[in-house]
Amino acid sequence: MTTSRSDALVLFGVTGDLAHKMTFPALYAMAKRGVLNIPLIGVAFPKWSLERLRKRVTDSIKRSGGIDDKRALRHLLSQFSYVSGDYKDPATFTALKKALGKARRPAYYLAIPPSLFETVIKGLGAAKLAEHARVIVEKPFGRDLASARELNRAARAVFPEDSIFRIDHFLGKEAIMNILYFRFANSFLEPIWNRNYVASVQITLAEKFGIKGRGAFYETAGCLRDVVENHLFQIVALLAMEPPADRDFGAVHTEKAKVFEAMRPLKSKDLVRGQYAGYRKEPHVAKKSDVETFCALRLFIDSWRWAGVPWYLRSGKYLPENETEILVELRPPPQKLFADSDPTTGRTNYLRFELSPTSAIALAARVKRVGKEFVGEQRELYLVDEQPGEELPYERLLGDAMIGDGALFTREDAVEAAWAVVDPVLKKHHRALPYKRHSWGPKAADALIASNGPWYNPTSKKTS
């Protein structure tokens, strides 16, 4: 185990899209805060000059929000060096060793296709570059349970578990972190946070756009692998976990892993797959592709707290909004004293979390209207949680990995337990159903939730 701050950051895949869209803006933000004072070594196959790499970094920052601190940008660019080579060639790692110079505690960030993870990790081990180092692995962590186990075996053969940081940028979002805080910092929530008071939970991650030219990637992934098994499952774990013994991140990981282990493996009847109209005409997509761009599923957690409570998860491309929300619907009062509060006429009380693009928490409660009649309406108590100066998810996660703080990363046992839940339906499932662009997906998704529905459809036009 290494507990000291990393003294170099090596970026495998530095010429790729992920680095351009996410990593460089995060590094620039760190440079502006004065916390990035280590060598940055880019590694990739193209034979670029250092000047070309620096132009790529500058272009990324211009596109992501503009350059508002030229001194920080100059400092960032001055930290870079570049190693070109094939990841399968030992000479590439020999050149990397030379570029590292006196650095003894590097962090290796693998912003590369998952198919190359094992190759690079083995290359680092063979070149004896793993001692006192850390490795940061991008999602997805495998394509199914078998490949996740193989990837974990390969990583553990070279690095100890506490030096492996499985990065999911979703966990670095302030709104996601607030779920954990809100649950365990407030005493009023615990008495009702169980099967006796919660009727169902809905989680929706909606995107208005399509696959944005990533057809080749999406054909290997699909919505279930790309979003649900990682992002949405992580939200479920934070909502469903038991209180950790203390604030130590190991205790949090243990409780999250227990949630995945308690999830009932999915069956084909629990899953609705959809594909937006025109997907098969996208570049690099098979003409008869059955890859899903939408999925909705019904999930059960067989634990003392959540037994019998259905969890409904939904995500898709080309939906009406760019929104991520949670709706925790409570059971109705045991006795119907007022006719207008009949749960069959509308939603019962609920707790709602807005996660993106805004961050807010809302509690819905019924209040009486003015007059002699006992007639009321449901209104939301709405708390906006937007805070200026929030760290970018990648800024937070890269910074945490370089100091060895694993709180916002995922652990080996949790990764494998999550894959075990979806593994039965990765190959055995119904065909993807077509749906119109900017609709809420195929109608079959409504039937899935009918006994606890309807779906709560997030909208960008919020009312407080």
Residues contacting residue 444 through CB under 8 Å, at least 6 positions apart: 272, 274, 433
- In angstroms, the CA 235 to CA 297 distance is 14
By C-alpha distance, which of 319, 297, 328, 263 is closest to 440?
319
Phi, psi of 430 (to 5 degrees): -75, 160
Phi, psi of 330 (to 5 degrees): -90, 160
Angle 191-192-197 from CA coordinates, rounded to 5°: 140
What number of other Cβ atoms are within 10 A of residue 373's Cβ? 11
- In angstroms, the CA 204 to CA 259 distance is 19
Question: One of 231, 253, 430, 438 is an active-site residue; which one?
Answer: 231
Instruction: Give the chain's length.
Output: 464
Tell me if 442 sits within 8 A of 169, measured CB to CB: no
What number of other Cβ atoms are within 10 A of residue 335's Cβ? 5
3-state secondary structure string across 17-56: HHHHHHHHHHHHHHHHCCCCCCCEEEEECCCCCHHHHHHH
By C-alpha distance, which of 314, 340, 331, 357 is closest to 459?
357
- In angstroms, the CA 452 to CA 432 distance is 23
* Three-state DSSP state, 386: coil
By C-alpha distance, which of 136, 149, 162, 152 is closest to 250?
162
Annotation says 231 is catalytic: yes
Residues forming the active site: 231
